[in-house]
């Protein structure tokens, strides 16, 4: 293939990489690359993103090299070079995009006030205008950690009640479950204004049940109003469903509401921090129904996805944040998107108010970052717990059932979840225990800490040692 066809070559390379690299990485780091030339030894690409050379060489060099080889027929050295002129262009495009988004937001606000774009009348009537305007598909960053959930959510939004019903999205705290669920609601409100959408947290549902069941002459009227609120909608979105577990009357209302809506072809979307089978005390009939449709998990995002989230946030808020700061924050806050975004907002607000430059040293002070901060590991936690209880790590992870060993094992499981925020399945693999055992241990210690001062003291002491 001739040198003059560099653009054609690169387009073919892009088509290959699009199927081998996560969507967030592809759009954030690969698409902005600009091919310069190739010869018998090198394939040269320029980028306007200062971090792109190191990130792509470290994590995706082999995929890029293989794709180039597939297209040109020989193995070439891939050279990715930072270009300051491209960087200026990149910054101008980002600023232009931010201005465009700001204008769109203003237009949306004006149209909303006139009832032209989002018709919230039905939501207001049902006292359910709970959707957050920032939780839309447009600003949800897709990566390998959430692609299944994202694709399923879009399918549900486009054809509610016809596919994946119910859609059950699960994953750890702060990973985007609520964002994705509310994005479904926004899409339907915008594109199918005739449908009634209701977003509710499980806690609010429980409170509504309690209030409806309150004694008095209005009891029957309250229950009828409650059931009308939840059963006369086209799309029901329930957040954190695990909070209804063990509440018999609430579970009964969820069960009957589910049957009514599902039987009428209405869409149900549910989120939780775990799968239905992993929710302690949840009735079997609800477990069965929640598993009828599609269960999609959201996992902890990789660093590239976390950086893409921060870049989008910087763009949307029209804040100029150096790439090294974005990479630093994405490295420090690795398990929780909510904490990641919160740190970004805290850092940029502090820097703006106090007129200080965004440097690594200043950011460390703002977020109280310590170089001595440990990266918690399961092994390290188990060692400290075993030492405290004066048993061996092997004994702690074993099958011994004495009260001392059992408590030590449950405390270790609790701390592994609490300190690392790793998934229950991952913790189960480490301890070689079933999910149900891990969940039982975690929930047992979590509840006992509220009433058992001696246990709380022990866990606090162990935590201090792990953090020291």
Please provide the DSSP assignment of 261-319 as one string.
HHHTT-EEEEEESS-GGGSTT--HHHHHHHTSSEEEEE-PPPHHHHHHHHHHHHHHTT-
Residue 335: both structure tokens together: 């398990």
Q: How confident is the model at residue 28 (pLDDT cuts 50, 70, 90)?
A: confident
> pLDDT at residue 124 above 50?
no
Please provide the DSSP assignment of 184-195 as one string.
HHHHHHHH-TTS
Q: Give me the residue spans of the domains in the chain.
A: 3-82, 121-298, 303-366, 378-467
Nearest to 273 by CA among 243, 303, 234, 312: 243
- pLDDT (tens digit per residue) in 93-104: 555 554 554 454
Q: How confident is the model at residue 468 (pLDDT cuts 50, 70, 90)?
A: low
Q: How confident is the model at residue 305 (pLDDT cuts 50, 70, 90)?
A: confident
27-44 burial code (b ≥16 CB/10 A, e <16): ebbbebbebeebeeeebb
Residue 452 host element (H or E): none
Tell the CATH superfamily of the 3-82 domain.
Answer: DnaA, N-terminal domain (3.30.300.180)
User: If one looks up domain 303-366 in CATH, what number appears?
Assistant: 1.10.8
Residue 3 host element (H or E): none
Structural contact between residues 347 and 326, judged by C-beta atoms closer than 8 angstroms: no
Q: How confident is the model at residue 172 (pLDDT cuts 50, 70, 90)?
A: confident
Architecture of domain 121-298: 3-Layer(aba) Sandwich (3.40)
Task: Give the 3-state secondary structure of residue 358.
Answer: coil
Nearest to 185 by CA among 106, 142, 130, 145: 130
Q: How far is CA 29 from CA 85, 360, 367, 416, in A?
A: 17, 23, 27, 34
- pLDDT (tens digit per residue) in 196-244: 999 999 999 999 998 888 765 566 788 888 899 999 999 999 999 999 9
- Separate counts of helices (H) and strands (E) for the chain: 22, 8
Model pTM score = 0.60
Architecture of domain 378-467: Orthogonal Bundle (1.10)
- pLDDT (tens digit per residue) in 407-450: 999 999 999 988 887 778 889 889 988 888 898 898 889 888 87
């Amino acid at each position: 293939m001739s040198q003059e066809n560099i653009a054609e070559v690169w387009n073919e390379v892009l088509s290959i990489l699009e199927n081998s690299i996560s969507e967030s990485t592809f759009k954030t780091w690969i698409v902005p690359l600009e091919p310069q030339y190739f010869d018998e030894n090198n394939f040269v690409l320029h980028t306007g993103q200062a971090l792109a050379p190191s990130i792509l060489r470290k994590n995706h060099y082999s995929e890029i090299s293989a794709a180039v080889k597939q297209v040109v027929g020989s193995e070439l050295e891939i050279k990715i070079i930072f270009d300051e002129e491209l960087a200026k262009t990149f910054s101008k495009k980002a600023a232009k995009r931010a201005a465009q988004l700001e204008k769109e937001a203003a237009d949306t606000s004006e149209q909303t006030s006139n009832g032209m774009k989002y018709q919230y009348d039905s939501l207001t009537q049902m006292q359910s205008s709970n959707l957050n305007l920032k939780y839309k598909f447009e600003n949800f960053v897709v990566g390998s950690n959430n692609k299944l959930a994202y694709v399923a959510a879009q399918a549900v939004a486009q054809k509610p009640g016809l596919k994946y019903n119910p859609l059950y999205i699960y994953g750890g705290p702060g990973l985007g479950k609520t964002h994705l669920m509310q994005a479904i609601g926004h899409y339907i409100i915008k594109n199918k204004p005739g449908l009634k959408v209701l977003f509710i947290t499980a806690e609010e549902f429980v409170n509504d049940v309690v209030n409806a069941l309150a004694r008095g002459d209005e009891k029957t009227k309250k229950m009828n109003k409650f059931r009308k609120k939840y059963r006369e909608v086209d799309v029901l979105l329930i957040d954190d469903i695990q909070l209804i577990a063990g509440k018999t009357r609430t579970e009964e209302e969820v069960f009957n509401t589910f049957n009514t809506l599902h039987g009428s072809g209405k869409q149900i979307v549910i989120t939780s921090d775990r799968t239905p089978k992993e929710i302690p005390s949840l009735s079997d009939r609800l477990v069965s129904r929640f598993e009828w449709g599609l269960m999609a998990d959201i996992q902890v995002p990789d660093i590239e996805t976390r950086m893409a989230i921060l870049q989008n946030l910087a763009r949307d808020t029209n804040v100029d944040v150096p790439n090294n700061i974005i990479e630093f924050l994405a490295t420090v806050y690795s398990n929780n998107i909510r904490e990641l975004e919160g740190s970004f907002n805290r850092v940029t607000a502090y820097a703006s108010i106090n007129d200080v430059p965004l440097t690594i040293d200043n950011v460390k002070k703002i977020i109280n970052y310590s170089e001595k901060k440990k990266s918690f590991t399961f092994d390290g936690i188990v060692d400290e717990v075993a030492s405290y209880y004066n048993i061996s790590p092997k004994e702690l992870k074993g099958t011994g059932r004495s009260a001392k060993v059992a408590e030590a094992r449950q405390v270790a499981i609790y701390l592994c979840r609490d300190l690392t925020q790793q998934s229950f399945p991952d913790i189960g693999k480490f301890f070689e225990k079933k999910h149900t055992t891990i969940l039982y241990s975690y929930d047992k210690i979590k509840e006992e800490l509220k009433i058992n001062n001696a246990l709380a003291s022990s866990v606090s002491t162990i935590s201090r040692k792990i953090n020291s």
